[in-house]
Structure 1
Amino acid sequence: MAGLESAPAARPSLTSISSGELRSLWTCDCELALLPLGQLLRLQPGAFQLRGDQLVVPAPAEPASARGGFNVFGDGFVRLDGQLYRLSSYMRRYVELTNYCDYKDYRETILSKPMLFFVHVQTKKDSLKERTYAFLVNTRHPKIRRQIEQGMDMVISSVIGESYRLQFDFQEVVKNFFPPGNKVVNGEDLSFAYEFKADALFDFFYWFGLSNSTVKVNGKVLNLSSTSPEKKETIKLFLEKMSEPLIRRSSFSDRKFSVTSRGSIDEVFNCNLSPRSSLMEPLVAELPFPCVLESEETPNPFI
């Protein structure tokens, strides 16, 4: 199904969608998106900054993070235009959880912002040169959010009181996006996983690897690459709307996305692509989760 939705002929792009049509799109109409990393850095200077040999991403405690942004998944480094940069702050693609509070914080954290993964591609024209793309996962789109939430809910219901490992994989949908002849070099990096270790005396299924699950996330990929100044401005507003802060609700059930719910969460999905005019509303409370977030100021307890 993912291959059919992401076939080159049907792939939504800025060459097939006019500027006016793109302005009328709801943010929730964008399930997944791809654009050159360099273009993303230029369009989102508040969310990403190149400082020397570092690609700086605002940490949860920094004011810029409270204004929105992305959950960047990586291994600490990213290559751009042949140069290797260190990530100053990012989320690890694999974490271990040992209690319900950690699980709850992790779940809320990964769903609080759009996800970003780095994609390295060898083109058909020049197989020796890699291009770096940013792959965006809109966790506020009902289709994407449903796949993540249902994956987490289903594995819990099947392994009550036992340890388990759950992985979310985007390799197939990304590889199907690019035309034949282009090679995704780092497909294994297009995933994230967590392992919940329960305090069970006999964890046979976990010991033998029978409680490992993988959810292959599928969706329609929007091509946000463009050289047109007008369309670049539209893309900028589009990205800002996608990454606006998500307001925390009073209970978990209230925070779950519903197309019929009313209130601030649905403001993210209106047709107005202008940036939020006021930041005086309560913003999502960032979660101090040291085993998830990597930064140069925070020691990594898993290395």
Structure 2
Amino acid sequence: MTSHTASRGTITVTGLEEFLREPPAGFSVQEAPGAGHRVRSDPEKSLVLIDDFRSCRGRVVFDNSPGRKVKVHNLWQYTSMRKSLLSKRIYLLMSACRGNLSAGNRKAAAGATALERYVVSIDGGDPLIRWQMERGLDWTISSVAGESYRVDIDLTEALESWAAENLEGEPVWSDASFTLKYYSDALFDFPHWFGFSRRHFKVRR
């Protein structure tokens, strides 16, 4: 699979090596020989949700990134994160893998052979993307009011649609989601403890 950048509307997909070699506008990459890369971005325009990881060139660290699993502990933090999700470009690291789609189990991507890693961005301020995320977040809040909760935002279908137009074959996408975790100060938050307050919604393009 060839590393490349392709953009279609609200989504941009860039091969990891190309992203580090020629970062997009608003990003800079500092390389320390033998130590890896440090990636900086403008937090006013970009919301980077990428955990530190190791590549063939060493450790890659994204400054100002809370990681793929974002934790908020009060209404102010949630409101701030929600505003970012609905207005900025969101950046994630995903892998295109070779797997058995005929089995119908896309969750098995974690055990598939990785073909290429991509930095994927979506425009949270795009009207369609914004509407989908607003609806999903509002549904989560209304469902678990006053409780801790976890909501997974899944971009798999958006990536599959992009891949069908830009890649040969039909890869399985791994890590094509991110998570927002809210922790309330409730003393006995039984629904959260037993996993009943976990939600999931999909974003399509």
Q: Give the TM-score of the pair, scaled to structure 1.
A: 0.51
Could you tell me which of 57, 62, 76 is aligned with 1:83?
A: 57
Change (3 A) 1:159 1:45: closer
Change (3 A) 1:31 1:78: farther
Distance 2:137 2:126 in 1: 17
Could you tell me which of 121, 132, 145 is aligned with 2:96?
A: 121
Distance 1:122 1:195 in 2: 27
Could you tell me which of 129, 132, 141 is aligned with 2:126?
A: 141
Q: Which residue of 2 aligns with 1:191?
A: 177
Identity %: 28
Change (3 A) 1:50 1:69: farther
Distance 1:150 1:202 in 2: 28
CA RMSD of aligned residues (A): 3.0
**SS state at 1:135 partner:** strand
Q: Which residue of 1 aligns with 2:79?
A: 104
Deviation sequence 1:216-256 (CA, Å, 0-9, x none): 1111xxxxxxxxxxxxxxxxxxxxxxxxxxxxxxxxxxxxx
Distance 1:130 1:84 in 2: 19
**SS state at 1:215 partner:** strand
The letter of the residue matching 2:9 is C
The answer to whether the aligner puts 1:174 opposite 2:159 as a matched pair is: yes
**SS state at 1:152 partner:** helix
**SS state at 2:13 partner:** strand
Contact persistence 1:71–1:91 (CA under 8 A): no
The letter of the residue matching 1:135 is V
Shift of 1:212: 0.6
Q: Which residue of 2 aligns with 1:33?
A: 12
Relative contact order, higher structure (CA 8 A, sep 6+): 1
- Higher Cα radius of gyration: 1
Structure 2 unaligned residues grouped into runs of 5+: 1-5, 100-111
The answer to whether the aligner puts 1:71 opposite 2:47 as a matched pair is: yes
The answer to whether the aligner puts 1:156 opposite 2:130 as a matched pair is: no
The letter of the residue matching 1:35 is T
Change (3 A) 1:182 1:143: same
Shift of 1:148: 1.2
**SS state at 1:103 partner:** helix
Deviation sequence 1:174-205 (CA, Å, 0-9, x none): 245335745346x1x22211222222344332
Shift of 1:34: 1.8
Shift of 1:46: 4.4
Change (3 A) 1:47 1:74: same
Change (3 A) 1:180 1:44: closer
Shift of 1:33: 2.5
**SS state at 2:66 partner:** strand
Change (3 A) 1:43 1:99: closer
Shift of 1:88: 3.8
Change (3 A) 1:78 1:143: farther
The answer to whether the aligner puts 1:95 opposite 2:83 as a matched pair is: no
Q: Which residue of 1 aligns with 2:31?
A: 51
Shift of 1:45: 5.7
Shift of 1:129: 7.5
Return the structure number with greater strand share: 2
Shift of 1:69: 4.6
